[in-house]
Amino acid sequence: MCAGNKGPPPPEKSRIEPSSTALLDDPLDFFFAEHFRQRELCNLLEEMARADRLDRRLAAEVIAFLRHDLVLHIQDEEEDLYPMMRRRCPPEDEIERVFTALTAEHAGGRVLAERMNTGLEAALREGRAGAAQSGLREAMLEFARSERRHLALENAVVLPLARRRLTPKDLEAMAVRMRARRAQEPAREGA
Ligand SMILES: [Fe+2]
Ligand SMILES: [Fe+2]
């Protein structure tokens, strides 16, 4: 049955698990948990790229994740985690080189996220499979591929180094800022 031009799908259990804000007591644990959720996103993007029908609920969930969760995560890293580590890591850690690459990947990810949002919104309007939208399938597959690489580098290099270099006070200050960032956000359905 063609989904047609209907309103938003009814709420149901999310395919991506909710953000574990209780973990913010230890922001590094929270970053690992968010990375796990981003891996779930990558799996779902590949599922959508292969599907010959549009899962409207999933499309809406993916749009919300890209617009909200991923934006907050990149702010957490670029405005809090990376600057804090720049202050604490000695030159021999050579972390600046890593942050330059990761920040460039964030920028590339933003471009792909915008392309995916535009394509998924069009797919929802027209009731067509995501794979049928020009460029959407490619954007979903490219994002999943590059995001997995990005997550692997952050999990294997950045977060373990942060654990060694950041002090309990640093982590506390970071947790305060990350909580404040979320408090400023309008409440989101299912969040
Ligand atoms: Fe990350
Ligand atoms: Fe990142």
Find the ligand nearest to 104 CA.
2
| Residues 34 and 71: beta-carbon distance below 8 Å | no
Q: How far is the CA of 38 from the centre of ligand 1 (A)?
A: 8
Distance from the CA of 126 to the center of ligand 1, in angstroms? 33
Distance 31 CA to ligand 2 centre (A): 9
Distance CA 133, CA 95 (A): 39
Please indicate, yes or no, if residue 1 is contained in any of the structural domains.
no
Determine, yes or no, domain membership for 9.
Answer: no
User: Could you tell me the distance, in angstroms and rounded to a whole number, from the CA of residue 3 to the centre of ligand 1?
Assistant: 35
In a domain, 191, yes or no: no
- Separation of alpha carbons 22 and 141, rounded Å: 32
Structural domain includes residue 15: no
CA 129–ligand 2 middle distance (angstroms): 29
Identify which ligand lies nearest to the alpha carbon of 102. 2
| Residue 105 belongs to a domain | yes
Per residue in 75-119, pLDDT tens? Answer: 999 999 999 999 999 999 999 999 999 999 999 999 999 999 999
CA of 132 to the centre of ligand 2 (A): 29
- Going from the C-alpha of 37 to that of each of 3, 40, 153, 172, the distances in angstroms are 28, 5, 16, 23
- Given a cut of 60, whether residue 9 has pLDDT beyond it is no
The span from the CA of 26 to the CA of 169, in Å, is: 11
Q: Looking at the domain assignment, is residue 126 inside a domain? A: yes
Angle, vertex CA 159, rays to CA 83 and CA 29, nearest 5:
105
CATH number at residue 134: 1.20.120.520
* 52 confidence band (pLDDT: 50, 70, 90): confident
Cα separation values, 47 from 8, 19, 40, 95, Å? 21, 21, 11, 35
Distance 88 CA to ligand 1 centre (A): 19
DSSP 8: P
Q: Work out the mean pLDDT of the chain and round it to a whole number.
A: 90
pTM for the predicted model, two decimal places: 0.89
Closest-approaching ligand to the CA atom of 109:
2
Domain count, the chain: 1
Residue 27 falls inside a structural domain: yes
* Cα dihedral sign, 2-38-184-111: negative
Domain extent for 44? 23-184
Which pLDDT value is given to residue 17? 87
Q: Quick check: 61 and 15 in contact, CB under 8 A?
A: yes
| pLDDT value, residue 83 | 98
Residue 123 included in any domain: yes
